[in-house]
Amino acid sequence: MRKLLTVLCCCLVSLQLYAQDVNTDSLLKVLRSELGRTQVYDQQKEKRIAGLRGQLQFASGSPYYTQSRLYEQLFEEYRAYKFDSAFVYVKAMADLAARFGKAQELTRSEIMMGSICLGSGFYKEAFDIINKIDPDTLPAAQKTDYLILRARLNEGIADYDSDAYFSKQYLRQSKADFRRLENVTPSNDFEKTIDLAFIPDSVKARSLTPGYFYRLILGRNLDKHGMAMVATRLSFAYTGQDRIFFLALATLCDVRSSTKETLAVFLLGEELFKQNRTGDAYAFMEEAAHNAKFYGARNRAVQIERMLPLIAGKVINEKQHERDKLLIGFLVFLITAVSLFFALVIYRKQFLRIKANERMIREKNAELEHVNNKLWESSRIKEELIGLFFNTCSSYIETLDRLKITIQHNIKLGKYNEVTRLLNNVHIDKEKGQLYTMLDSVFLTIFPNFITAFNALLKKEDQVWPKSGETLNATLRIFALMRLGVSDVETVARILDYSVSTVYTYKARIKSRALVPANDFEQKIMEIKFIDSQEPVEEMVAI
């Protein structure tokens, strides 16, 4: 199922690339997926190798060409897969050709041996091999292979040395061999078309796009290794995304053909690093390092060892930068959160302080209102009592004045009996009773609910209610004077014409029967509400 999905994905990518030119990211995505299947392709190659080695075991007495063909097939399987094994079989080919006296086959084997020495970085050994061969004695086909090997060898050592002086000499020799090669074996139409990619853009036809060469490669019916070689060559004609595309294509073909020479994947990692795609560059360069170790490519391993630390360092720097950004973001968030928290704490404290102040203001206002009410109540009571006092006094003064005039008149006339009769008509107790009645009326006008409120403080059986025709009785009158602010017992006794002990007795008896504690009873009496009737006392009291 996984294999089918991979094939479908590759087909879709191919169709997409045909439809809309070149899509590098899609190809890189497929390449990453295929790298995960490397083991599958390697197992397929190992299976083919095992089959050939099995055939070789039974071919020891076979004719030369049978043995040589098996050696060559094993060499081709190992050629781009594992250097040591490839060298073993190409050496066996050379020994077999020498034993049977096949000079051309021996030279061919030596050229093949030189090619794998080049791929593995054995430049001296490769030069030793080609220096033993006289190119003028070679047939055209072998001379072509010889010149290609020598040109690539000079190009490879120039790249490996990276020296301003010696590298130029090697490159000059390499270019000379490639020109000589064109005279020996002219390029075919396909090779000539590929060479068009290297024409400067200023004179290159518009149709020669990367997509055109991609379709050309697909339509050529090349094997995977051949497609990788062509794609790698085309990558040198482009830069940027186009170069990455052809290198990714070459690497993809290398993966599927189990090619471990690492050139394409190394160049891909290097190009991605140049374009600051360090994550992908590091992944592909690690793959290149693994392949170089597996194949035994010492030259590539040296190049990778130079590049990999640079890429790894940049990856580490980028990750550190990301961590720093995350840390800065976290610190900013933390500072913001802490600032917000403290702001909320301060706001809450201010809010609670405001609420407390508002509550205090309400309490103070309530206290002030209560005090004002008390002052107003006290003032109102005093006004009523003063009015009652002056009204009563003026009434008594008028009465005394009339009585004085009448008595003086009767004395002058000698009517002493009439004087005696007038004096006998003055009833002090009756006057006191009228005074108490008038006081009760005024009090109940100011405190109309006093009797009810007073009895609410007592048990039902102990409640004190005035008798029919009474306004207040003695008990109620004592506590009425207390409510008016007359708290001194002697003053109460003098006003009501009681003894001090009698007043104490009344008060003690009531407090003992109260529903509230005795110490709180007088306070409860003082809490009985004052009601302003707004009616003049003079209209309510008859003298």
pLDDT tens-digit map of 290-338: 999 999 988 888 888 888 898 888 888 888 888 888 889 898 998 999 9
The alpha carbon dihedral of 242, 246, 249, 254 has a sign of negative
460 inside domain: yes
Exposure on the CB side of residue 352, measured as CA atoms within 13 A = 5
Same domain? For 410 and 508 the reply is no
Same domain? For 406 and 455 the reply is no
- Helix H or strand E encompassing 444: helix 428-446
360 inside domain: yes
Residue 262's pLDDT band, with cuts at 50, 70 and 90, is: confident
Judged against a pLDDT cut of 60, whether residue 436 lies above it is answered with: yes
Judged against a pLDDT cut of 70, whether residue 5 lies above it is answered with: no
The SS3 call for residue 66 is helix
Same domain? For 478 and 496 the reply is yes
Average pLDDT, the chain: 84
493 inside domain: yes
Which tokens hold the place of 342?
């403290």
375 inside domain: yes
Q: What is the pTM of this model?
A: 0.61
Same domain? For 338 and 379 the reply is yes
Same domain? For 476 and 403 the reply is no
% of the chain beyond a pLDDT of 90: 36
Judged against a pLDDT cut of 60, whether residue 74 lies above it is answered with: yes
Are 117 and 295 contacting, i.e. CB atoms less than 8 angstroms apart? no
% of the chain beyond a pLDDT of 70: 87
Same domain? For 467 and 518 the reply is yes
Are 281 and 269 contacting, i.e. CB atoms less than 8 angstroms apart? yes
- Helix H or strand E encompassing 62: none
Q: What are phi and psi of 469, to 5 degrees?
A: 90, -10
Same domain? For 459 and 476 the reply is yes
Per residue, what are the HEC states of 337-370? HHHHHHHHHHHHHHHHHHHHHHHHHHHHHHHHHH
Judged against a pLDDT cut of 90, whether residue 75 lies above it is answered with: yes
Residue 54's pLDDT band, with cuts at 50, 70 and 90, is: very high
The SS3 call for residue 533 is coil
pLDDT of residue 388: 59
| Other beta carbons within 10 Å of 381 | 18
Which of 407, 422, 437 is the C-terminal boundary of a domain?
A: 422
pLDDT of residue 534: 45
Residue 520's pLDDT band, with cuts at 50, 70 and 90, is: confident
DSSP 528: S
Judged against a pLDDT cut of 60, whether residue 13 lies above it is answered with: no
Same domain? For 440 and 408 the reply is no
Judged against a pLDDT cut of 50, whether residue 195 lies above it is answered with: yes
27 inside domain: no
Same domain? For 479 and 501 the reply is yes
Same domain? For 442 and 381 the reply is no
Residue 384's pLDDT band, with cuts at 50, 70 and 90, is: low
Judged against a pLDDT cut of 90, whether residue 15 lies above it is answered with: no
**pLDDT for 348-367, tens place per residue?**
888 888 888 888 888 888 87
Report d(CA 543, CA 50) in Å as an integer: 145
Query: Which position has the token pair 């206002």?
Result: 365
379 inside domain: yes
Judged against a pLDDT cut of 50, whether residue 20 lies above it is answered with: no
Residue range 121-136: mean pLDDT, rounded? 91
Judged against a pLDDT cut of 50, whether residue 405 lies above it is answered with: yes
Pick from 1-5, 151-155, 280-284: least confident? 1-5
Same domain? For 438 and 415 the reply is no
- 355 burial class (0-12, 13-18, 19+ CB within 10 angstroms)? exposed
Judged against a pLDDT cut of 70, whether residue 390 lies above it is answered with: no
Same domain? For 404 and 502 the reply is no
The domain tally of the chain equals 2
Judged against a pLDDT cut of 90, whether residue 287 lies above it is answered with: yes
Residue range 116-124: mean pLDDT, rounded? 90
pLDDT of residue 115: 93
Query: Which domain covers residue 481, as residue numbers?
Result: 427-539
Which of 370, 387, 422 is the C-terminal boundary of a domain?
A: 422
398 inside domain: yes
Which of 422, 438, 470 is the C-terminal boundary of a domain?
A: 422
387 inside domain: yes
